[in-house]
Homo-oligomer: A and B are copies of this chain.
Amino acid sequence: MPYELYYWDGIQGRGEFVRLALEDAGADYIDVVRENGGVAAMLAILKSKTEPLVPFAPPFLKDGDFILSHVANILLYLGPKLDLSPTSEKLRHFANGLQLTIADFVTEIHDTHHPIGVSLYYEDQREAAKARAKDFLENRLPKFFGYFERVLAQNPKGPHTMVCGTHTYVDLSIFQLIEGLQYAFPLAMTGYEADYPLLAALHRRIKMRPRIARYLESDRRQPFNEEGIFRHYPELDRLVR
């Protein structure tokens, strides 16, 4: 039975971190909301008055009758099944901690364009967004990137993967972060390879994985746009180096 991924159609968003794992593993899955009747199916679960495992929000995954939500939790569950996790229990917790750091970073990236609230349009919070994006690019992005670069450098199995000596879902998520930030903040990301050579090498390695390369060329990969997490608003971007 294929996995069922439930996430909004039309954006990569948080669902993309799950899609990349499913695609990299060549897993059998349905992107439910991109099929006919998919939105209704998703809302039926979200609004259910009886489902015990009701999720707060997309993305969520169905594996048979089992439902689970949150990117890091879904990847924790799928990782061993897709051969995208470290094998030891302890390193699985380390991978999960890294994925949660990525989740925090994603929230901060999102909030550069929505610092006041998700209920309001970007245009109604643009001035606050400029202040938040400035702080993000000057302080937060270097802090997160510096940390991820150190994790690579300090990996006893070598600086090519984030956890252990083999490829995991964390590496795929780092790739997506860099892709998204290059779309949203092309000025700020100019020349990032010089400061973060290990991250840049990881990004290149993932992009060349055969299934990922095919996925990126397919129409299953939706383009970045100004509805998702990573939005390109030129007024929020700036050279920081």
**Residues in chain A within 8 A of chain B (CB atoms):** 48-56, 66, 68-70, 72-73, 76-77, 90, 93-94, 96-97, 100-101, 103-104, 107, 111, 115-120, 125, 128, 131-132, 135-136, 139-140, 144, 147, 150-151, 154-156
Q: Are A100 and B72 in contact (CB under 8 A)?
A: yes
Q: Are B115 and A116 in contact (CB under 8 A)?
A: yes
11 A-B contacts (beta carbon < 8 Å): A48-B154, A52-B156, A55-B97, A56-B104, A72-B100, A73-B96, A77-B93, A100-B103, A116-B135, A120-B135, A128-B128
Q: With A117-B131, A117-B136, A128-B116 as known contacts, state yes or no: A49 contacts B154, CB within 8 Å.
A: yes
Q: Are B119 and A135 in contact (CB under 8 A)?
A: yes
Q: Are A97 and B111 in contact (CB under 8 A)?
A: no
**List of B residues within 8 angstroms of A66 by Cβ:** 90, 93
**List of B residues within 8 angstroms of A147 by Cβ:** 54, 56
A47 to chain B, nearest CB (A): 10
Considering the chains assembled together, what is the distance between the CA atoms of A73 and B97 in angstroms?
Answer: 6
Q: Are A93 and B73 in contact (CB under 8 A)?
A: yes
Q: Are A117 and B94 in contact (CB under 8 A)?
A: no
Considering the chains assembled together, what is the distance between the CA atoms of A186 and B116 in angstroms?
Answer: 21
A172 to chain B, nearest CB (A): 19
**List of B residues within 8 angstroms of A136 by Cβ:** 117
Considering the chains assembled together, what is the distance between the CA atoms of A70 and B103 in angstroms?
Answer: 11
**List of B residues within 8 angstroms of A131 by Cβ:** 116-117, 125, 128
